[in-house]
A and B are shown apart, each in its own frame.
Chain A
Amino acid sequence: MKHALILVEHDGVNPHSALRRIVSAARLLADRLTLLVAGSQAQAVAEQAACIAGVSEVWLFDAPHLSQPLAEDLSPLLAHAVRERQASALLAAASPFGKATLPRAAALLDCAMLSDVVEIQAPDVFVRPVHAGAALATLRNPEPVKILSARAAAFPPAADQPAAPINIQPAPPAANRSAWVSTTHPDSARPALAEAKVVVAGGQGLGSAEQFHALLDPLADRLNAAIGATRAAVDAGFIGNDHQIGQTGAIVAPEFYFAIGLSGAAQHLAGMRDARVVVTINKDAEAPICRQADYVLEGDLFEIVPALLRALE
């Protein structure tokens, strides 16, 4: 019987919405599944996690020093859980949190790992994008413990089940290597990029921060969309970096992606290639984004975006 562990990402109250999808990925590797929740007073997280179909048990590590879980504290905890459960797989979402933590645990276990897995072909064969998504690599991982960060959007969400048992685990003492100072999450009024069904993304073509917001905010409001941006748009100060999409920003796979006044550089495509329907508005029909789009509206975005908004009313 194979046993997989998942590091649960959460905000202290709710597990991250990606968790259900990571559970589906883990179920391809093991028949028993333990979710690891580390936090301070995180009982509510554990309770919700226990009700995801396929979960065998939840281990809850609850201690004040885990209120802002740091990689230095989580990695020995993960390595301990792998040994204790004789786990053959350890997973987390391929989010900044998962990607900062899993490799640290992998090194403690002296285990090679795979990042950004988008497909599990066999219990030891995995597919992941390389070169900013310009190619998909298939790799065999013969390590005794398969450690992987998985792209949530590539796996279906698991359903509900009656609650699995929650086991309280003794939290290891604080590593005291680094200290959390602060966290900022600007504009949380709109849907989060990672979760939005529709993303409206703007590039350098918007020209200025004022025009970016004057044009894209009403469209995003109308479509209940998250707002994304290219690196060029962020660097020009149109919007904060937490909106950047691409190799160095968020990786999204919404139902609809509106690419407005952006050219579709390889590094941008890396973040939106898996969107279901891509619409682009660009005055240049030769821009690379037009080859990655399903619908192309060629022309001046300053005329087309207001017209689009009217057509949506």
Chain B
Amino acid sequence: MKALVAVKRVPDGNAPLRLKMDCSGVDLAGMPMRINPFDEAALEWAVQRKEAGTISEIVAVSIGGNACQETLRHALAMGADRAFLIAAEHAPEPLAVAKLLRALAEREQPDLIVLGKQASDDDNAQTAPMLAALLGWPQGVFASNVALENNTLQVTREIEGGQEVLALPLPAVISADLRLANPRYLKLPQLLQAKKKTIETLNPSELGVAPAPRLELLGVAPPPARKPAVKVADARELVALLRQEGLP
């Protein structure tokens, strides 16, 4: 069984976010970058299935500038077999990403496509259901557990206040919650070995997709600030203050 896993390069969510002076966007200059944690969980799950013998080949793909090579090297070091970089100046919008991934899926014919449930920068959570729609495949999104038996996936999904289990025939698209798998730490030999694997570059035009943006970013702003906190001496004082705020 062959799996396609998409990995996005994103700013590290633990580093403080800076906005451009003119508020036209996020200032990425000097930001530490990493593989999107949700994609990392998706890939880890696939690698574990490969180690268990249920997946035979993992193809990784990233869409963006040349720096995404680094993200793909990380994916190769984790256990992907080969990789594609789809060249794009900016990270395209989810619908364009879904179209690019559909085109790649038509070339590569995977049995399974595993994505992160969202990218930790844009937080859209759109690509997996969009891709499933374009391919006409079943979807199992926000998956925290996936079991594979006789060409059927048992997908446990995180839903509001609980979980849902779906059965999906292959081929299918799934998207990973962080709980799907705990990513491994990479060691030097794996990183060195990854250098020997191939990364093939594709242009969107070769895939027949024009990833032009449809939406226009007008600006970004910091979230509204809270008033400085009131330091409270003890529980009794706290309750008195909260009662004034209307605590029942």
Contact = CB atoms under 8 A, between A and B. Distances in A.
B137 interface: yes
Contact of A294 (B94, B219, B229): B229
A1 interface: no
A223 B93 contact: no
Contacts of B159: 96-97, 183
Interface string A92-119: 0001110111111111101111111000
A70 to B, nearest CB: 7
Nearest to A226: B161
Contacts of B122: 130
A135 B26 contact: yes
A196 to B, nearest CB: 11
Interface residues of B, number: 80
A129 B123 contact: yes
Nearest to A75: B133
A277 B38 CA distance: 31
Contacts of B125: 99, 103, 115
Interface in B214-248: 214-223, 226-227, 229-232, 234-236, 238-239, 241-242, 245-248
Nearest to B159: A96
Given A178-B138, A180-B166, A296-B230, A247 B130 contact: no
Contacts of A111: 95
Given A106-B126, A184-B163, A290-B229, A307 B235 contact: yes
B140 interface: yes
B218 A181 contact: no
B91 interface: no
B138 to A, nearest CB: 4
Interface residues of A, number: 90
Given A104-B133, A185-B161, A277 B242 contact: yes
A112 B95 contact: yes
Interface string A181-198: 111111010001110011
Nearest to B231: A296
Given A70-B166, A294-B227, A311 B239 contact: yes
Given A129-B223, A193-B161, A181 B166 contact: yes
B229 A291 contact: yes
A295 B230 contact: yes
Closest 6 CB pairs of A and B: A107-B133, A107-B130, A178-B138, A307-B235, A185-B162, A177-B138
Interface of A: 70-72, 75, 95-97, 99-108, 110-116, 125, 129-143, 177-186, 188, 192-194, 197-198, 223-224, 231, 241-242, 247-248, 250, 255-256, 265-267, 273, 277-280, 285, 290-298, 304, 307-308, 310-312
Given A102-B129, A112-B93, A131-B123, 14 more contacts: A97-B160, A129-B123, A138-B221, A140-B216, A181-B166, A186-B162, A223-B247, A242-B163, A265-B14, A277-B242, A295-B229, A296-B229, A297-B235, A304-B234
10 contacts: A104-B130, A111-B95, A136-B220, A142-B214, A178-B138, A183-B162, A184-B163, A242-B158, A295-B238, A296-B232
